[in-house]
Chain A
């Protein structure tokens, strides 16, 4: 079993923290991992992506081949569309619905959502709203992750342990609210009907 995931967003949105949780979960399960990141110029508010590959077997390429990704996990709706050339026809597109507008020609939101809905397997989630309802706006990325984990081939407990490991030093409260965020994302995906 393998999962090739494109994590997408805008520089500064923290996609690498999402990658870290998935990575830890995969490692704990005994899987291999390769994760290509974008550092440097694009981190200044440009489009950024990370190729995260997790697999039971050794992985060769650090980059995911076009048309082979099992998932695009995007914290920004327009950015989710940028990587469609990578998505396998049976792959999942999981995207946050909250636009990050730092350009003057940002398209109409509804047009973006329309394009996302054209993808056969998709989840469009209001992760920011859900995180706010949990009184933890910073946990939107974990809500997103919750919406995705059913498709990642790794049991939930590994993600929970990864969250405990990564947020542990910030205290029990932070761990708990992120576990709730994960749960909320999972629930959202279970009930999602497009």
Chain B
């Protein structure tokens, strides 16, 4: 079969389609979005009746996946690294309930924070949950590991984590496909109390998970994804995890002179690690993300083993790896072109011309003029770009939903009025509960829900909030007379500003919903409409 040219994300999606997955759940988040998008638009997936569902948030996605696994079918749930924080509760507990149908949790990390607020390393979550972790070094491995991951999950009856980073998620290469598997027909768990985590059952399940750890380690010792490659120069040994292996070999096109332990599956294969550190003078650990393997080897006191990596500065502590970072760590000649000329200026991302958020910020900023700066709490989405010139309108961006709750806390502390700016999709992701807190406390805050009817920053996926925002707010208990739907357009500026001004003075919860479709989504919709008409 001819190879497909796929992003790492797409290779995972195609792998899941071919490996007999019945349903995929996700909330969009860079760099994980393209996995679910691919399944969503795959004709093959449609023909196979595979469910590709955007969830309200990562937690609901994770729980739906656990439900599908309970019912005996193979399932995948995908998120960016910080999304796993949102889904951490069901994730950790899913390791205790175990799986029935195969379940893969994909966590896409973003070292160097290309599109994120931190560079946390999801391998720690996998270790925390005590489940096997797979970490591909190539698009082909990403594809193959999905097949293998489902087998592993069904063999040990636990969820398996597949961890990748931005570079693989968003890099394309040729991928060969394996034979397709049928979906599971569905079956109840053999023990109907397996998923009932009452303490007595949970204790038994947890003990079972503990007892399975040696088997996970054995699996890691014999898997083809962990490979010990001999080298003649024993002055150094290299443990290279996931993509780091590629950066290493980029520097040794004709073969690495040092022994290399290529890691693609965790828990770490104890015997292979021991073989490495016992046969070399020093061991260099190359891993994208936090120094997890390095910390395990170094221990608290660092006595005995000579381990090089991020702790001792051989590799910079923060940021993603690349061929040059690895060259420097190996003491090889570093390469560099010319410095960019000084006249070069930065080009930060910005809101698109015609974006409704531009009008919303103009209205808000004018209404806020009498109060001065420093009272606008924002959230995660395109409107976070309101932090940059020319607006410089917002004072926070912490996590999904934090705008409303931070505004409440600040108002409690006397910062009145406090303003929250949140998007429609982020509101239904994690804003609704915070709004309920504010309503119950009658907090003097003004909440701007910028409703552009899409999940914009990640490329315009459907918003779970679509057509629901107003009713949700009323249902939560926002007073009708303090809820306003505006059309953020230049011609409405004065009128909109006056409404916001008035609500800033109200000593309770006001909700203002500027509603206008994202300009990108609108363009896409119009293009599709035009295309259909001309057919």
Q: Does B471 contact A (CB under 8 A)?
A: no
A106-B345, A115-B343 known; 5 new pairs, CB 8 Å cut-off, are: A45-B350, A61-B250, A66-B335, A78-B345, A81-B344
Which residue on B lies nearest to A44, using beta carbons? Answer: B349
A61 touches B336 (CB 8 A): no
Q: Does B498 contact A (CB under 8 A)?
A: no
Q: Which residues of chain A have C-beta atoms less than 8 A from B385's C-beta?
A: 44
B337 touches A27 (CB 8 A): no
A85 touches B322 (CB 8 A): no
Q: Which residues of chain B have C-beta atoms less than 8 A from A11's C-beta?
A: 349
A62 touches B30 (CB 8 A): no
Q: Does B174 contact A (CB under 8 A)?
A: yes
Query: For the complex, what is the distance from the CA of A39 to the CA of B335, rounded to whole Å?
Result: 27
Q: Does A183 contact B (CB under 8 A)?
A: no
B173 touches A33 (CB 8 A): yes
B30 touches A82 (CB 8 A): no
Q: Does A17 contact B (CB under 8 A)?
A: no
B173 touches A84 (CB 8 A): no
Q: 24 A-B pairs, CB-CB below 8 angstroms?
A: A27-B174, A32-B174, A33-B172, A35-B171, A36-B171, A37-B7, A40-B114, A40-B115, A40-B457, A41-B349, A44-B349, A44-B350, A51-B171, A60-B246, A61-B322, A62-B167, A62-B246, A84-B339, A85-B338, A87-B337, A103-B347, A107-B345, A111-B343, A115-B343
A36 touches B167 (CB 8 A): yes
Residues in chain B within 8 A of chain A (CB atoms): 5, 7, 30-31, 33-34, 114-115, 167-168, 170-174, 243, 246-247, 249-250, 253, 322-324, 327, 334-341, 343-352, 382, 385, 389, 457-459
CB within 8 Å of B: which A32-89 residues: 32-47, 51, 59-69, 78-79, 81-89
Q: Which residues of chain B have C-beta atoms less than 8 A from A61's C-beta?
A: 246-247, 249-250, 322-323
Q: Does A130 contact B (CB under 8 A)?
A: no
Q: Does A193 contact B (CB under 8 A)?
A: no
Q: Does A10 contact B (CB under 8 A)?
A: yes
A45 touches B352 (CB 8 A): yes
Q: Write the nearest CB–CB distance from A169 to chain B, whole angstroms.
A: 11
A62 touches B340 (CB 8 A): no
Q: Does A105 contact B (CB under 8 A)?
A: yes
A46 touches B114 (CB 8 A): no
Q: Write the nearest CB–CB distance from B355 to chain A, whole angstroms.
A: 9
Query: For the complex, what is the distance from the CA of A39 to the CA of B340, rounded to whole Å?
Result: 23
A/B pair count, beta carbons within 8 Å: 152
The 9 closest A-B pairs by CB, nearest first: A40-B115, A67-B335, A40-B30, A46-B349, A61-B250, A62-B171, A44-B349, A65-B323, A36-B171
Which of B114, B172, B339, B459 has the most chain A CB atoms closer than 10 A to its own CB? B172
Contact of B337 among A59, A78, A84 (CB under 8 A): A84
Q: Which residues of chain A have C-beta atoms less than 8 A from B247's C-beta?
A: 60-61, 63
Q: Does A185 contact B (CB under 8 A)?
A: no
Q: Which residues of chain A have C-beta atoms less than 8 A from B343's C-beta?
A: 107, 111-112, 115
Contact of A41 among B173, B246, B253, B457 (CB under 8 A): B457
Q: Does A146 contact B (CB under 8 A)?
A: no
Query: For the complex, what is the distance from the CA of A190 to the CA of B440, rounded to whole Å?
Result: 73
Q: Does A102 contact B (CB under 8 A)?
A: yes
Query: For the complex, what is the distance from the CA of A78 to the CA of B342, rounded to whole Å?
Result: 11
Q: Which residues of chain A have C-beta atoms less than 8 A from B339's C-beta?
A: 84-85
B345 touches A44 (CB 8 A): no
Query: For the complex, what is the distance from the CA of A95 to the CA of B530, rounded to whole Å?
Result: 34
Q: Write the nearest CB–CB distance from A55 to chain B, whole angstroms.
A: 11
Query: For the complex, what is the distance from the CA of A192 to the CA of B348, rounded to whole Å?
Result: 33
B340 touches A81 (CB 8 A): yes
Query: For the complex, what is the distance from the CA of A111 to the CA of B385, rounded to whole Å?
Result: 29
- Given known contacts A61-B323, A112-B343, A89 and B170 CB-to-CB distance under 8 angstroms: no
Q: Which residues of chain A have C-beta atoms less than 8 A from B322's C-beta?
A: 61, 63, 65
Q: Which residues of chain B have C-beta atoms less than 8 A from A40's C-beta?
A: 30-31, 114-115, 457-458
Contact of A34 among B171, B341, B345 (CB under 8 A): B171
Q: Which residues of chain B have C-beta atoms less than 8 A from A87's C-beta?
A: 337-338
B337 touches A60 (CB 8 A): no
B350 touches A60 (CB 8 A): no
Query: For the complex, what is the distance from the CA of A20 to the CA of B106, rounded to whole Å?
Result: 27
A36 touches B350 (CB 8 A): no
Which of A12, A35, A60 has the most chain B CB atoms closer than 10 A to its own CB? A60
Query: For the complex, what is the distance from the CA of A35 to the CA of B343, rounded to whole Å?
Result: 29
B344 touches A27 (CB 8 A): no
CB within 8 Å of B: which A140-191 residues: none
Q: Which residues of chain B have C-beta atoms less than 8 A from A27's C-beta?
A: 5, 174
Query: For the complex, what is the distance from the CA of A32 to the CA of B140, rounded to whole Å?
Result: 13
Which of A37, A42, A44, A78 has the most chain B CB atoms closer than 10 A to its own CB? A44
B170 touches A38 (CB 8 A): yes
Q: Write the nearest CB–CB distance from B70 to chain A, whole angstroms.
A: 33
Query: For the complex, what is the distance from the CA of A47 to the CA of B340, rounded to whole Å?
Result: 14
Query: For the complex, what is the distance from the CA of A61 to the CA of B168, rounded to whole Å?
Result: 10
- Given known contacts A34-B172, A34-B173, A62-B243, A46 and B348 CB-to-CB distance under 8 angstroms: yes
Contact of A65 among B7, B30, B335, B352 (CB under 8 A): B335
Q: Write the nearest CB–CB distance from B243 to chain A, whole angstroms.
A: 7
Query: For the complex, what is the distance from the CA of A62 to the CA of B351, rounded to whole Å?
Result: 29
B351 touches A44 (CB 8 A): yes
Q: Write the nearest CB–CB distance from B299 to chain A, whole angstroms.
A: 31
- Given known contacts A44-B350, A67-B337, A87-B338, A82 and B344 CB-to-CB distance under 8 angstroms: yes
- Given known contacts A67-B335, A67-B337, A46 and B350 CB-to-CB distance under 8 angstroms: yes
B114 touches A23 (CB 8 A): no
What 1/0 flags go to A101-126 for Cβ under 8 Å of B?
A: 01111110001100100010000000
Q: Which residues of chain A have C-beta atoms less than 8 A from B115's C-beta?
A: 39-42
Query: For the complex, what is the distance from the CA of A70 to the CA of B163, rounded to whole Å?
Result: 32
Q: Write the nearest CB–CB distance from A153 to chain B, whole angstroms.
A: 18
Q: Which residues of chain B have C-beta atoms less than 8 A from A46's C-beta?
A: 347-350
Q: Which residues of chain B have C-beta atoms less than 8 A from A89's C-beta?
A: 337
B337 touches A37 (CB 8 A): no
Q: Write the nearest CB–CB distance from A173 to chain B, whole angstroms.
A: 14
Query: For the complex, what is the distance from the CA of A10 to the CA of B7, rounded to whole Å?
Result: 21
A41 touches B114 (CB 8 A): yes
Q: Which residues of chain A have C-beta atoms less than 8 A from B345's C-beta?
A: 78, 103, 105-107
